[in-house]
Amino acid sequence: MRWARVLVIAGPAVVLAGLGLSHPQELTATSAPWWTTLHVVLLPIFPLLAVSLWLLLRGVPGPVAWVARIAAYGYATFYSVTDVVVGIAAGDLTQFNLARGLPERTVEVDRLFTVGNDVGAVGVWCFVVACAATALAVGVLVGRRALPGAVVLLLGAVLFTGGWHIYWPAGVVTMLVLAVGLGLLAVVLPDPQPRGDQAGGG
């Protein structure tokens, strides 16, 4: 049961690392079709990092845990804008421009990058807060056993602020560091009690 939970919690970051191996380094005429398709694929996967944090916090009490849950929701909403605008919209517009004989990078494409990255940055910092609060909440619950996972998770969150998305190599490494941190925290958490046991605990 515990190892299944570890795989579920760490899994999204591992999948993102794997997809990052195929992420184009730049949006060009050649890369535009896969750039667009890849970000459609990524759209439902990136928010799963928030779900990973929520699963870690299942049954963890206290205001710090709630700060983590709310910040994780903020990440899931704001960072999705990066995928939609910089990924899908900019990629599709690039293909549309090429079909009309226009340059592959127009001012409109550059504007999409600016807007998407600016809004997505809010999501990045929400993620940092969510990871820090999760690490603290789990640490309070289980003590020093949470320290390795907390340190690795925070390292991954800080790396995420570098703007590397999932680009190879830095973005892929960032996702793998997050996967290790999430997995280490999942290992030290006690198994959740069945609802029946909680209800009839007396």
How many other β-carbons are positioned within 10 Å of the β-carbon of residue 168? 15
Higher pLDDT, 104 or 26: 26
pLDDT at 104: 78
pLDDT at 1: 63
pLDDT tens by residue, 38-80 = 999 999 999 999 999 999 999 899 999 999 999 999 999 999 9
47 CB-contact burial (10 Å; exposed 0-12 / middle 13-18 / buried 19+): buried
pLDDT at 198: 45
Averaged pLDDT of the chain: 92
d(CA 24, CA 30): 10
pLDDT at 99: 87
pLDDT tens by residue, 172-194 = 999 999 999 999 999 998 876 55
Quick check: 182 and 52 in contact, CB under 8 A?
A: yes
pLDDT tens by residue, 93-130 = 999 998 888 887 889 999 999 999 999 999 999 999 99
pLDDT at 202 exceeding the cut of 80: no
Q: What is the mean pLDDT of residues 142-151?
A: 96
pLDDT at 133: 98
pLDDT at 10 exceeding the cut of 50: yes
pLDDT at 193: 56
